[in-house]
A and B are shown apart, each in its own frame.
Chain A
């Protein structure tokens, strides 16, 4: 798993490259736990090169969701592969999280 970041104004885009399983999800958890992440209004997750996710990876996002919501930080996924989105859907997480098609769409999602 390779994680890269890009910052633009109050938005941070985290790009995930590889497979998010019980082993690699620790890295993502460290990234999302950094205090400076709370300075942003939006955390966008670019899933174009995320080829796999297991419950451990989902668990990392879920564990930060409430904290982000409390701080009015919007977590938005985009460019997600169908097979990865399907894993969110099996648990109904697609209804509880914001998943959009493109970066442009992610940028237009309001924080309300």
Chain B
């Protein structure tokens, strides 16, 4: 099965990425909740790369490749946009976001809580995000 996909930086392509992950994982009979969490984590990072790194410039791409070792999946996402500094990342204070009528800052928190390991690196002009998840398949 094809393990990678490249999309233009348009938010409408988030659905394309979610469908790709769904199809890729379909042979593994994951529980619905776990499958949804994995799709969500990949969607959140893809949205960040489209919006914050590539500034929704459709001439720029986001690439996703999926690798599997045993029961662990690696989702590798990369772009060719501005690097965004993950050192600035802070755990969101949701009560504060609510009281201020804010919207954002929860995506990476979701990803970190869902995935076993999250790595952000920069190579030249490319941001690379690697998400690792050990899955639980029914016996």
A54 and B95 contact, Cβ closer than 8 Å, known pairs A82-B32, A90-B110, A91-B106: no
B87 within 8 A of A: no
Complex Cα distance A92/B39, Å? 19
A residues near B40, Cβ cutoff 8 Å: 52, 54, 87
Q: B101 — which chain A residues lie within 8 A by C-beta?
A: 63-64, 66-67
| Partner of A21 from B37, B43, B102 at Cβ < 8 Å | B43
A96 vs B39: C-alpha distance in the bound complex, in angstroms?
24
Residues of A within 8 A of B (CB): 19, 21-23, 52, 54-56, 58-60, 62-67, 82-84, 86-87, 90-93, 96
Let me know if B90 is at the binding interface, CB within 8 A: no
Question: For the side of the interface on B, what is the size category?
Answer: 20 to 34
Bound complex: CA A82 to CA B102 (Å): 26
Closest residue of chain B to A25, judged by CB? B103
> Would you list the 4 A-B pairs with minimal beta carbon distance, nearest first?
A59-B103, A23-B11, A55-B107, A83-B36
Given the known interface contacts A54-B44, A86-B33, the answer about A92 and B94 at a Cβ–Cβ threshold of 8 Å is yes
Partner of A22, one of B32, B37, B51, B97: B51
Whether B14 sits at the interface, judged by CB under 8 Å, is: yes
The one of A21, A60, A84, A87 in contact with B110, judged by C-beta atoms closer than 8 angstroms, is A87
B interface residue numbers (CB < 8 A to A): 11-12, 14-15, 18, 32-33, 36-37, 39-40, 43-44, 47, 50-51, 94-95, 97-104, 106-107, 109-110, 113-114
Are A96 and B32 in touch, CB under 8 angstroms?
Answer: no
- Taking a contact as CB atoms under 8 Å apart, the answer to whether A62 and B98 are in contact is yes
Q: B36 contacts which of A23, A55, A86 (Cβ < 8 Å)?
A: A86
With A62-B102, A86-B36 known, 12 other A-B pairs at CB within 8 A are: A21-B18, A22-B47, A23-B14, A52-B40, A54-B14, A54-B40, A54-B110, A55-B104, A55-B106, A60-B103, A82-B33, A87-B36
